Each structure stands twice: as C-alpha cells, then as structure tokens.
Amino acid sequence: MSGNVIILGPRGEALSTPKTRRAAALRTVKARFDAAMTTDENSRWWQAADFIGPLSELDPGTRRTLRSRARYECANNGYAAGMLRTLAVDTIGTGPGLQIVDYEIPRGDAVAVEDSFWEWCGAVRFAEKLRLMRMAKARDGESFAQFFENPRVAHPVRFDFNPFEADMVATTMYNTTIENILDGLFVDDYGNVTAYNVLRQHPGENYLTMILKADVVPARDIIDVAHINRPGAYRGVPEILAALPLFALLRRYTLAVCRSAESAAEIAWFLKTQQAPSEMTFSDPFDLLDTERGMGMVLPEGYEAMQLKAEQPTTQYPQFKREILSEIARCLGVPYNVAAGDSSSYNYSSGRLDARNYQKTIRVERSYWENVALEPLFRRWWSEAILEDPAIPEGLRRARPPRHAWTWDGEEHIDPLKESKADTTDLTSGATTLATIYARKGLDWEEALRQRAREIALCRELGIPIPGEPLAAGLPAPVDEATLEDMAKQAAEEQAEETSNA
C-alpha cells in the first residue's frame, strides 16, 4: 500500500501524523536573528556574555569590586563627584515636607503635627542624611539606615536613624532551620526580607581583627534603598556601573592631552645629521646635551637641530569630552548640561525638552523614596510621637497615622512668565487647582493662602496697594504693556515736535 495514511478523529476530522507535521515544519520559513548568530566577526563582541542568574551574578566579591571602583572614580573625577552631588540635591533638596491631607482633622491639629515633624527633621538632620543615602545609592548601588533611640535628640521624640554603607550587610553565619540567609539578608519562603545581618564595624577598617561580629536586625528597623536591575535580585548595583570604564577613559585622555601639551612647552630637541658614522662628532647616538632656556648654540658641522612635535588633538578634545559625558550622564538619567554644568550650547527649546525628561526622572525617584524610606520613617516617628510628644493633639493619638502627602522642593521654570500665564489659564478653565500649582513649587497651598490673606489684610490696614489687585480709588489705574508702549511712542513724538519747533 502506498500513499499517505489519513487518521480521522472522533468527529471525522483529519488528524496530523508525525510525517505530515514534519513536512509542514520543512515548509515553514525559519527566520534568523543576527544577534543570535555567532560568526568570526562578532565572536569577540559577546565573548563575555553569560547565562548567570541574578543572585550568582551579584556575588559579594563582584559587588565589592564594583563599589570600590565606583568610589575611586567618584573620589578622583570631578564630573562623577559633581553628578552625584547634583542628583542628591535635585532629588532630596532641602528635604521632603509633611502635609496632612485628612480633611476630617481640624486644620489647627494638622498644623501641629506638621510643625512637630518639621522640628524633629531639623533635630536629626533629616535632609542631610537622605542626601547622603541618595549619593550612596548612585555610587554603591544601595544604602541602608537603622532606626535607634538617640537620647541627644533635641525633641520630645528621641527616635533617630543612622545611615551606613552596604559593606556592613554581609553573611557571617548560615542557618536554614527557620529562614534562608542570602548575602546578609534573611529571606522567607515568599521572598520577603525579614531581617538583616549587620556588622558592628565596617569590614574595611584597619584596626579590625579577623573576627567580625554582627547583629541580626529586624527588617522593620532598617531602611533599604537599592538600585535593582534584574528581577529576583536582592542587592543593588551602582547606578554609574555602565559608565565606570568611560570615567577611566576620560581621565586617561585628559592626562594624555596634558602630557602632550607639556611636551610642546618644554625645550626638547634632537640633532639630525647626514654624516657617516665614522665622521660623526657625537659617537654615541644617545648622548645628552644640556641646554638652558633662551640660550643660543653653534652646532657641529653637518648637524641640524629639530624640535619634537607634540601631536595633540586640541580641536577634538572638547568634542570628545562632550560625547563621553553625554554617554556617562545617560545611564543616570541626567542631561548633558546638568552633568557638565554647562548650557552654553543649548537653546531654549533644547533646554526645556531636556529639563522635562530630567524632572520626570526626579519625580519617579522621589516616589520610590516615599514608598521605601519616608513612609517607614513616618510610621515609626508617629508611633513614638503619640506617646512622647505633647504637641500632638489628643484627638489624633491613635495607632494609625493620618492621611498625608509629601511636598518636595519646587521645579524652577526656565521662563517664569510663561509658566505663570499657563497656570492662570488652567485655573480659569478649571484644568488645575491651587493645590497642584503650589505643590509643584514645593509649597503648602493652605499655608500659602493663609499667608496671602494676612498680607492683604495688612496692606488694607496700612492703606497701600495690594499686589495683584487694582490700585485703590484715587490712584491711577494699572496699565498694560501695550498702553505703556503707546504712551512712550506719544511722548517721543511730542519731544521730536518740540525739538523741530525750537
């Protein structure tokens, strides 16, 4: 019997056989991925590519090496140090402010809570510590802080937090009876970090012995901010990781250009002759001849003095630095003008576009800090404030803190006049609110309106014009720009007429 055998299903449909499936597979067009092919040309491009998992990739030794090199570059490269400081200042600024948004709470009670928290922030150097942790997150990949009771805090709430480096969270024990310990972190079966193994001293201190003691600190007493770049990872990597070789390249190129310029500035020359070796005045071809600056010299017959040429790409150096800095800044989400501190090559549109993307990056980073750092801090502060701080009203002394929000430093607009006109238009059309506008500027809208009311009342009391409102009766009405231009043109015409008559 010849031919294909057709097998029918229970409903009479034809079922595929291994032979028919193979024939269909042969007829299928197989697309190729260039990136998945290994050729003689690209074999060296990805020779370091691996299939290592997120936990094995970031083993303690690898992270220690990355942190050490990142710290070295940030300590010896002015651009690296400046970018980290700018990131911390732009993200944290003068520190986030607490704003109670629970409208069931009387405004006076809400202000009492906000003022108490603000005083506590000043007593524990709240913003300064957050800026330090933000710099460590970008440089080391992660930063930690531990809660503790500080009797020296000048506030009824003695609660404080102390930042420490990522090196101090390490494995010094192994216990699988209850929980798994993973590179200094105790992780339960659901992937939750329940505790941290924190060393009592930094392992890099010179006075330490070989035995390092550690304490197991519950996760509720630790703030852990980390730059995680792979799902399943628990420890962070430096945000400037991809730029580390570029920082080194930038320093090398700068030093090479400097050495070339120094060689050109020095009096360095050599003697050239066409004489035969037997007739040469200097028998040793490597003899040295000392010269002084500004002196003249009579050379032996047949010799010619030639100065060394310093071949340095002086015209290409600024462009090289710009390209390198642009690539470095890209991994941090920072525009070039912010990274270099130079906006001379920017026009208004370019500055606005780059500032918009950068400000969005800052807002995303602030949201991360609110969830990971600020909320645990405030909950811990509240749990002690309701017991220790007499400024907290009696009606608010409950375990659950009131609804609240965080206000950050405002984003300065490149053209304040255009921003003001846009806000006025949005308010008139109902597209925005005063709370949104003041929050963008880093201000409390209720406090700003109360301050505005106090200023208006004082202006009326003193009988002086109120800013933003028409002038009082009897005084000239305000004029717009067009009217001022017409008045100036009319005055110029009258003056010209008087001059001609004279």
Per-residue pLDDT tens over the stretch 140-161: 999 999 999 999 999 999 999 9
Between 196 and 212, where is the model more confident?
196
Per-domain boundaries in the chain: 52-265+314-409
What is the H or E stretch that residue 117 is in? helix 107-123
Q: Count of CB atoms within 10 A of residue 329's CB?
A: 21
Q: Which of 140, 138, 158, 136 is nearest to 148 (CA)?
A: 158
Which of the four pLDDT bands, split at 50, 70 and 90, describes residue 115?
very high
Q: Which of 253, 92, 212 is nearest to 163 (CA)?
A: 92
> Looking at residue 198, what is its pLDDT?
92
**pLDDT, mean over the chain:** 80
Q: Which two tokens stand for residue 13?
A: 């449909």
pLDDT digits (tens, 9 = 90+) for 288-327: 666 666 556 656 666 666 665 655 555 678 888 888 999 9
Q: Quick check: 446 pLDDT over 80? A: no
Taking the alpha carbons of 216, 220, 222, 227 in that order, is the dihedral positive or negative?
positive
Which of the four pLDDT bands, split at 50, 70 and 90, describes residue 135?
very high
pTM: 0.74
Query: Reduced to 3 states, what is the DSSP secondary structure of residue 387?
Result: helix
| Residue that the structure tokens 């525009």 belong to | 335
